[in-house]
């Protein structure tokens, strides 16, 4: 167990007294995720009350529970009762941030923030003890939970910050108080909540609001939309240390060449502060090269030699659900499945289809779910995917959800198209249209739960 909390620190954070001297692990709100020694915090949410799971948390090994309601038949020495458990969580998060000696890196962006966060974590692991937000814990609940779970001896902390509205990133970054803030992209993923890309850029730029003016570092992707607007925001805040990464020779870190090798791996060449570096990866989508550049920019900003970071790149594998190719077996049929169903948006879908296009297989299939949070632009942005689908080389196309169904009749005779209202309807039909040997891209927003389609086709541990 990583020691995250000591009784004395908890007492200070929550302005209370503890009857037992002990050490504790991470803070969890889901009892099913409890490991031995963890702290369970009973949060009240719209559809559930964590107090119903306190006993389950103890059975799974929790050493302490933070509660706001009385619970019968539990050891009083193993609970801390507070007035409001969510307020208590935020107090713990702020205490941790104030007392941590780690360097904090905050990551946001319309596309690629989770993958970039994971890559930065894997890189920094080679330089010192590193903690990162688990999964996509990037909202009003996930960020304080992550902060409250940072080990006492962490040297680096990588925090993912997301948003659905103006002001959210500002509030979260005020708690994180990052030493380095990074924006991966500004795109139309959240356009349903905003009026324009400019509004999205303003919201993303809030990640610079709580950088220390004298020593905080802003990192931006030089090829992203609304770059100038984001730069102006950072400079107006007094941030003077700004690092650009991308594919321009003017960038402090830039990707100078990408080459797909015969075995499917990539040879990547980077220039970092005018020095040349090269790395050969495993078989991955080419768009990860940009995420790697972001990680190298973080290393550069921390004055770390990039050589160890390049080793992390060489060993990097995408997670299932985020672009990994899985070999699947279903009875006597075998498939190669690009598992890219954790989420979807116009730019990410375009990149996934481009990756499919460059892979060799005469029997390409795409399972594409509709994209959410696009508001009044929903029809237009789904229609813009037609060209990328046509260029991907697919022979069979499975479209799921009304916006995707609306474009089902806009493909030529070379593509066999099937459309379904939801993934349940798809699940009942897809196997009868496959023969085995196909390369299948599965891409869709989380609400489609496409991992069940991957699992049905033989992918193990689909998500």
Q: Is the pLDDT of residue 94 over 80?
A: yes
Decide if 92 is inside a domain: no
Same domain for 152 and 256? yes
> CA end-to-end span of the chain, whole Å?
25
Q: Is the pLDDT of residue 320 over 90?
A: no
Per-chain mean pLDDT for the chain:
95
- Residue-wise pLDDT for 360-390, tens only, equals 999 999 999 999 989 999 999 999 999 999 9
- Residue-wise pLDDT for 242-266, tens only, equals 999 999 999 999 999 999 998 889 9
* Residue 319 binned pLDDT confidence (cut-offs 50, 70, 90): confident
Backbone angles phi, psi at 340, to 5 degrees: -135, 45
**Region for residue 37 given its phi and psi (left: phi exceeds 0; alpha: psi -120 to 50; beta: otherwise):** left
- Residue-wise pLDDT for 282-307, tens only, equals 999 999 999 999 999 999 999 999 99
Same domain for 154 and 266? yes
3-state secondary structure 329-371: EECCEEEEEEEECCCCCHHHHHHHHHHHHHCCCCCEEEEEECC
How far is it, in rounded angstroms, from Cα 312 to Cα 118?
11
How far is it, in rounded angstroms, from Cα 87 to Cα 340?
36
Q: What is the pLDDT of residue 232?
A: 97
* Residue 212 binned pLDDT confidence (cut-offs 50, 70, 90): confident
Same domain for 68 and 111? no
How far is it, in rounded angstroms, from Cα 161 to Cα 204?
9
CA nearest neighbour of 176 among 123, 230, 138, 204: 138
245, 279, 291, 356 from 259: Cα distances, Å: 19, 11, 16, 16
Q: What is the pLDDT of residue 137?
A: 92
Q: What is the CATH number of the domain that holds 406?
A: 3.90.190.20
Sheet bearing 275-280, strands edge to edge: 130-132, 156-160, 103-108, 180-183, 217-221, 241-246, 253-260, 266-272, 275-280
Which residues touch 390 (CB under 8 Å, ≥6 apart)?
Answer: 411, 412, 415
Where in 261-411 does DSSP place strands (E)? 266-272, 275-280, 324-330, 333-340, 364-369, 394-400
In the listed set 315, 343, 367, which residue is the last one of a domain according to the structure? 315
Contact call for residues 339 and 324 (beta carbons, < 8 A): yes
Q: What is the pLDDT of residue 4?
A: 96
In the listed set 84, 113, 132, which residue is the last one of a domain according to the structure? 84
Q: What dihedral do alpha carbons 49, 52, 55, 60 form, nearest 10°?
A: -60
Which residues touch 242 (CB under 8 Å, ≥6 apart)?
Answer: 217, 218, 219, 220, 231, 234, 235
Same domain for 309 and 329? no
Same domain for 256 and 333? no
In the listed set 84, 119, 148, which residue is the last one of a domain according to the structure? 84
What are the tokens at 201? 């850029």
Q: How many domains in the chain?
A: 3
Q: What is the pLDDT of residue 462?
A: 86
Q: What is the pLDDT of residue 392?
A: 96
Instruction: State which residues form the domain around 62.
Output: 5-84
* Residue 189 binned pLDDT confidence (cut-offs 50, 70, 90): confident
CA angle centred on 86, ends 40 and 64, rounded to 5°: 20
Same domain for 183 and 204? yes
Same domain for 355 and 266? no
Mutual orientation of helices 113-124 and 288-301 as an angle, nearest 10°? 50
How far is it, in rounded angstroms, from Cα 160 to Cα 181?
10
15, 28, 77, 174, 206 from 87: Cα distances, Å: 12, 15, 21, 16, 23
Give the pLDDT mean for 401-425: 95
Decide if 461 is inside a domain: no
Sheet bearing 39-41, strands edge to edge: 27-28, 39-41, 64-67, 79-81
CA nearest neighbour of 78 among 48, 55, 96, 50: 55
Q: Is the pLDDT of residue 225 over 80?
A: yes
Decide if 27 is inside a domain: yes
What are the tokens at 366? 């795409």
- Residue-wise pLDDT for 155-180, tens only, equals 999 999 999 899 999 999 999 999 99
Same domain for 358 and 408? yes
Decide if 95 is inside a domain: no
What are the tokens at 107? 């990551």
pTM value? 0.93
* Residue 418 binned pLDDT confidence (cut-offs 50, 70, 90): very high
| Residues of the chain above pLDDT 70, percent | 100
Give the pLDDT mean for 256-279: 96
How far is it, in rounded angstroms, from Cα 155 to Cα 440?
41
Decide if 463 is inside a domain: no
Q: Residue 257 pairs with which residues in a beta bridge?
A: 269
Decide if 94 is inside a domain: no
Q: What is the pLDDT of residue 463?
A: 79
Q: Residue 439 pairs with which residues in a beta bridge?
A: 336, 364
Q: What is the CATH number of the domain that holds 291?
A: 3.40.1190.10
Q: Is the pLDDT of residue 5 over 80?
A: yes
- Residue-wise pLDDT for 8-47, tens only, equals 999 999 999 888 889 999 999 999 999 999 999 999 987 8
Give the pLDDT mean for 174-187: 97
Q: Is the pLDDT of residue 131 over 90?
A: yes
Q: What is the pLDDT of residue 135?
A: 83
Same domain for 300 and 364? no
Same domain for 273 and 418? no
- How would you label 96-113 residue by residue, b for 16+ Cβ within 10 Å and e otherwise? bbeebebbbbbbbbbbbb
Q: What is the pLDDT of residue 17?
A: 87
How far is it, in rounded angstroms, from Cα 449 to Cα 443?
10
CA nearest neighbour of 363 among 395, 321, 339: 395
Same domain for 140 and 65? no
Q: Residue 253 pairs with which residues in a beta bridge?
A: 245, 272
Same domain for 159 and 109? yes
């Amino acid at each position: 167990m990583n020691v995250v909390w000591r009784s004395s620190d908890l007492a200070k954070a929550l302005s209370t007294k503890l009857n037992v001297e002990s050490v504790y692990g991470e803070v969890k709100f889901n009892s099913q995720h409890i490991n031995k020694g963890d702290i369970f915090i009973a949060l009240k949410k719209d559809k559930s009350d964590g107090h119903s799971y306190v006993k389950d948390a103890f059975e799974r090994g929790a050493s302490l529970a933070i509660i706001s309601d009385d619970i019968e038949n539990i050891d009083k020495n193993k609970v801390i009762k507070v007035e409001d458990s969510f307020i208590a969580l935020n107090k713990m998060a702020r205490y941790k941030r104030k007392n941590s000696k780690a360097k904090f890196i905050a990551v946001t962006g319309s596309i690629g923030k989770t993958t970039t966060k994971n890559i930065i974590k894997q890189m920094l692991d080679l330089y010192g003890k590193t903690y990162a937000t688990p999964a996509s814990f990037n909202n009003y609940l996930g960020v304080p939970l992550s902060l409250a779970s940072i080990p006492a001896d962490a040297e680096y902390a990588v925090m993912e910050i997301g948003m659905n509205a103006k002001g959210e990133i500002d509030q979260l970054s005020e708690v994180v108080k990052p030493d380095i803030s990074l924006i991966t992209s500004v795109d139309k993923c959240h356009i349903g909540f905003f009026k324009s890309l400019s509004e999205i850029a303003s919201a993303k730029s809030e990640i610079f609001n709580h950088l220390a003016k004298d020593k905080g570092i802003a990192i931006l992707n030089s090829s992203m939309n609304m770059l100038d607007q984001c730069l102006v925001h950072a400079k107006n805040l007094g941030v003077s240390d700004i690092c650009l990464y991308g594919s321009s020779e003017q960038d402090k870190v830039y990707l100078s060449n990408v080459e797909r090798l015969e075995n499917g791996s990539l040879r990547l060449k980077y220039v970092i502060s005018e020095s040349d570096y090269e790395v050969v990866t495993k078989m991955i989508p080419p768009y990860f090269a940009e995420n790697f550049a972001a990680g190298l920019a973080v290393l550069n900003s921390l004055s770390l030699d990039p050589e160890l970071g390049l080793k992390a790149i060489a060993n990097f594998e995408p997670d299932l659900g985020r672009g990994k190719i899985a070999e699947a077996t279903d009875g006597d049929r075998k498939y190669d499945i690009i598992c890219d169903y954790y989420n979807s948006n116009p730019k990410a879908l375009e990149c996934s289809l481009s990756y499919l296009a460059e892979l060799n297989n005469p029997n390409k299939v795409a399972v594409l779910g509709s994209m959410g949070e696009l508001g009044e632009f929903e029809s237009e942005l789904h229609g813009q995917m037609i060209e990328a689908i046509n260029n991907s080389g697919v022979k069979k196309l499975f479209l799921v959800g009304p916006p995707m169904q609306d474009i089902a009749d806009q493909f030529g005779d070379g593509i066999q198209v099937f459309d379904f209202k939801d993934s349940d309807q798809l699940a009942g039909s897809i196997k009868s249209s496959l023969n085995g040997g196909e390369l299948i891209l599965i891409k869709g927003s989380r609400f489609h739960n496409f991992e069940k389609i991957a699992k049905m086709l033989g992918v193990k541990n689909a998500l």
